[in-house]
Amino acid sequence: MRLLPRLNRRRVIAGSVVALVLVGLVGWAVVPSPATYRTEEQRITVRTGPGDATEVTLDTTLYLPKKSGRKPAILLAHGFGGTKQSVRSDAQDFADLGYAVLTWTAQGFGRSTGEIHLDSPDWEVKDAQRLLDWLAARPDIQTDAAGDPRVAAVGGSYGGALALLLAAQDRRVDAIVPMITWNDLSRAFLPESTGKDPAGGVFKKQWAGLFFGSGSADPITDALTGGGAAAPQRTPTGDAQCGRFARDVCEAYLDIATTGKAGEAALALLRRSSPAPVLDRIKAPTLLIQGQVDTLFPLSEGDANARGIAAAGTPVRVAWFTGGHDGGKGPQSEVDRLRFLTAQWLDHYVKGNGKAPENSFTYSRVSGLNAQGRGLVTAASSLDAYPGLAGTSTASIALTGGPQDIANPPNGNPAAISSLPIASVASLLGSGVSAEIPGQHADYTSAPLPATLDVAGAPVVRIRAASPTGEAVLFVKLYDVPAKGAASIPDGLIAPVRLTGLPKTIADAQPVTVTLPAVVHRFEAGSRVRITVASADSAYASPPDPVVYQVAVDGAVSLPDVAGTPLANPNVIWRYVLAALVALILVGLVAAVLVARARARRIERRIDPDHADTPLVVRGLRKTYGDFVAVAKVDFTVQRGQVVGLLGPNGAGKTTSLRVLMGLTRPSEGEILVFGHQLLPGAPVLSRVGALVEGPGFLPHLTGLQNLHLYWAATGRPAQDAHFDEAFEIAGLGTAVNRRVKTYSHGMRQRLAIAQAMLGLPELLVLDEPTDGLDPPQIAEMRKVLRRYATGGRAVLVSSHLLAEVEQTCTDVVVMHKGEVVAAGKVDDIVGDSPTVQLDVSDVDAAGKVLEELAGIRSVAWSGGNGLVVDIDGTPRSEVVAALVRAGVGIDRVTPRRRLEDAFLSLVGGDTKASGERS
């Protein structure tokens, strides 16, 4: 055997080593490792309430690391409306890090008994204290002293407030991590953006109603729980109005919801369930995590908690992230960053490992989408000192506009839609809703910005108002108005204002300073800043009487920013991943990328001149997974001007073929040519292809237009090449592009996904089930969309299981069965001649008698009205018509009855099941 040259031999050895390392690491990553913990299900009964006079049973689970020895503990609380199952995955992560984790279902929820008291110190907080007692008595829990476990309290939303209140009430807590939670519950539900007492705030009726509804009946959605919750089961209490709410909580809600204002009793109850009065008692080091996309508990709530705790000399770290009650957990990069910050905080202050964490403040900006255009990418920054909501610098942006009249509608109806909570509610809205109501808002706009402007903090503006009643409820909003496209409110956050003692004319009005909700947002150069003052908003209660206000904005809006340091390594990689292994992976990946690029360049240079103008040629395509054959042999061509339907029963190989076509996976054999270029993952020719293959993915708190601009920016292609207007017109989105995606119906999301695939007007459009979930009118409209798109020399390949729609939409069809193409050609050619005909006649009974006596007719069936379906079984249609005419029966129409469905079933032999193949 001839030996390899020395250079090649070294390359082979080096490549083999890298490959073996990569294979080992991949196996280590994907093969499930045995659980490092065990669980104990417990029903723990505690005495709680004033004087410990009430007995409550709590449904708990303890996650206990298998490694022997005493373990530090974490009390992990769930969000409102959830159960212990809501935080199961987080509990598993903490257990893997060596903590004993106790989760429980708060009283009034799930299988726990008791009533909902809104984190009352006498009830839910005392329950948590009894759980601390239970942990301290266990021999496998680390303790600082008798009855004092080494423990942290962690939780989000409802669970976050519990962590704060528990630390204030019980010094045994060693560290806390409250997330997306409140400082003052009265201010959260009755916000007042002029800094006045929250008793005069504006009632946040939508969020309050969701909370009350989820506690008094079945839960609405786990968006309220902090994520991942299975719906807890409710036990009826016999009180149809209050459900499992305690009577005093129920009466407080009913009073506020009826009047729109809070009485002294209701305020006292809400403040009793708030950390605000007891922050000076918290001595446990605190990591505060607050969401930037949160209309329920905005950044100002976390800011108040941070300032109050730090004033007592307690270590505090603040982290803002691009999620929240409206924005969810944020992208995976944010999830990883927050996990690391949490683990680092607890390791130091609970386990005693490592030095105290640095960077007292971290935050993130949205920087674009990932390479697939589906995942959000964020850029994190940090500061050594928390700057608060005022930022470290301020830009004053001049506004134009004078006094304007705005009308308050009766009972706030109609109202602007700008601050609705969570997507589950917003998705119920119809498709014609506008953000602002004409006549009910005043706009004050800046000149185009000469350069990019970053905002990180709470904008401030001064307004004046006059009212014939002496009072007004207003909603002040910050808008980003791009040079091209729809205006939007960053994260949907607005400032409600209740003003009293107002003059009747604007000339006599005194300026009032309004602090808007803090945001992290980038205004691009050329955009305008706009302040809008509106009279009604659907998320809030408004005065019942119609009245006309006069409003004005004084001069300018102040926009703060933070001089943060970008985190080159934002601490998102778990510390137990060895740096050496990471380095080896990177080396292997770089080598693989270089080889792939070199191969791609070689192949890219080879162009088949015979198909340089053909959108798609598939030749000998085969895809296997081990011994499993997903696609056996596929050949077909898509020409310009064609709408080609890809059909086949489940498991025929359609989706696998499309995945190969889009470069998402490599074929085992064969080739795909796109305009003569051989297709490879990442091939430049893919820029001429638009696709919707694995379902749409959009950011719910952004408008449709913002999602599309963000997607296009991630491609790195010039903005003028996007052809937004043409894509919108073809997709038929209309004004819906200016609404936030969380208000879209399923059909509108599909159409937005089609518009995204059409950006840049690609010459080949590939769609997998584009009519999935659409109703008949939407399907009919989508049919028009696809036909319009195929004009002008473009082509469409569409996979669908709706045979009638394919027949009416497509010019050509490719039928697959068991991984092979069994027919391809024009739809009319595939349908072929009809064995049956539809007859519309003047006399159904007379026609039926004539046809039953006619030789060669196999069957006659009434199809409704004056119609008959006749199986002529080869009998010439002319003979059938002549027989009816001789009998004096009038014939209005004779049409073939065979459909694409008939042809399809004959081609696949009636087999519409998967038969084991992948789709």
Q: What is the pLDDT of residues 580-613, one digit of tens each?
A: 445 555 556 666 556 555 555 554 446 788 888 8
CB atoms within 10 A of CB 40: 11
27-48: average pLDDT:
74
CATH of 833-897, one of 3.40.35.10, 3.30.160.110, 3.30.360.10, 3.30.70.100: 3.30.70.100
**Mean of pLDDT over the chain:** 81
146-152: average pLDDT:
97
Report the alpha-carbon distance of residue 482 to residue 231 in Å, rounded.
41
What local confidence, expressed as pLDDT, does residue 841 receive? 85
What is 876-898 written as a DSSP string? -HHHHHHHHHHTT--EEEEEE--
What local confidence, expressed as pLDDT, does residue 20 receive? 40
What local confidence, expressed as pLDDT, does residue 457 receive? 95
What local confidence, expressed as pLDDT, does residue 418 receive? 80
What local confidence, expressed as pLDDT, does residue 228 receive? 38
Q: Is the pLDDT of residue 814 over 70?
A: yes
514-541: average pLDDT:
94
635-657: average pLDDT:
86
**Residue for token pair 């409802």:** 158
Report the alpha-carbon distance of residue 37 to residue 347 in Å, rounded.
18
End-to-end C-alpha distance for the chain, whole angstroms: 45
CA distances from 283 to 156, 167, 179 (A): 20, 7, 18
369 CB-near residues (< 8 Å, 6+ apart): 375, 376, 377, 710, 711, 713, 714
Report the alpha-carbon distance of residue 700 to residue 59 in Å, rounded.
34
Closest CA to 130 of 252, 250, 45: 45
Asked whether 661 and 623 are in contact (CB, 8 A), the reply is no
657 CB-near residues (< 8 Å, 6+ apart): 618, 621, 623, 631, 634, 646, 816
607 CB-near residues (< 8 Å, 6+ apart): 676, 677
32 CB-near residues (< 8 Å, 6+ apart): none
3 state DSSP class of 741: helix
What local confidence, expressed as pLDDT, does residue 506 receive? 95
Q: Picking from 195-204, 646-655, 718-727, which range would have the lowest pLDDT averaged per residue?
A: 195-204
Q: Is the pLDDT of residue 522 over 80?
A: yes
CB atoms within 10 A of CB 596: 13
CATH of 393-561, one of 3.80.30.20, 1.10.3660.10, 3.40.50.300, 2.60.120.260: 2.60.120.260
Asked whether 622 and 788 are in contact (CB, 8 A), the reply is no
262-287: average pLDDT:
95
Closest CA to 90 of 142, 156, 176: 156
Report the alpha-carbon distance of residue 449 to residue 399 in Å, rounded.
12
* Reported confidence tier of residue 752, pLDDT bands at 50, 70, 90: confident
What local confidence, expressed as pLDDT, does residue 131 receive? 97
Asked whether 693 and 766 are in contact (CB, 8 A), the reply is yes
> What CATH number should be reported for the domain whose range is 37-189+206-387?
3.40.50.1820
What local confidence, expressed as pLDDT, does residue 594 receive? 61
Length of the chain: 919
What local confidence, expressed as pLDDT, does residue 160 receive? 97
What local confidence, expressed as pLDDT, does residue 574 receive? 38
Q: Is the pLDDT of residue 754 over 70?
A: yes
Closest CA to 269 of 191, 343, 186: 186
Q: Which of 131-135, 519-523, 660-664, 736-740 has the highest mean pLDDT?
A: 131-135
Over pLDDT 90: what percentage of the chain?
Answer: 43
What local confidence, expressed as pLDDT, does residue 904 receive? 62
* Reported confidence tier of residue 470, pLDDT bands at 50, 70, 90: very high
* Angle formed by the axes of helices 877-886 and 844-853, nearest 10°: 120
Report the alpha-carbon distance of residue 116 to residue 126 in Å, rounded.
13
Specify the amino acid at residue 872: I
Supply the DSSP symbol for 105.
P
Closest CA to 590 of 22, 9, 26, 10: 22
What local confidence, expressed as pLDDT, does residue 196 receive? 67
328-351: average pLDDT:
89
Q: Where is 781: in which H helix or E strand?
A: helix 776-789
Closest CA to 180 of 226, 111, 131: 226
25 CB-near residues (< 8 Å, 6+ apart): 581, 584, 585
CA angle 376, 380, 381 (to 5 degrees): 155
Parallel, antiparallel, or unpaired: how do β-strands 628-638 and 616-625 relate? antiparallel
Q: Is the pLDDT of residue 311 over 80?
A: yes
**Residue for token pair 């009604």:** 536
Tell which CATH architecture fits domain 609-830. Answer: 3-Layer(aba) Sandwich (3.40)
Structure tokens at 603: 């192949």
What local confidence, expressed as pLDDT, does residue 682 receive? 65
Structure tokens at 818: 């068991």
- The yes-or-no answer to whether 393-561 and 833-897 have a common fold is no
Annotated domain spans of the chain? 1-33+585-604, 37-189+206-387, 393-561, 609-830, 833-897
Chain segment 539-570, per-residue pLDDT in tens: 999 999 999 999 999 989 999 999 888 875 44
Closest CA to 706 of 903, 563, 865, 524: 524
What local confidence, expressed as pLDDT, does residue 488 receive? 87
| Structure-model confidence comparison of residues 26 and 275, the more confident one | 275
205-221: average pLDDT:
67
What local confidence, expressed as pLDDT, does residue 832 receive? 61
Beta bridge mates, 553: 463
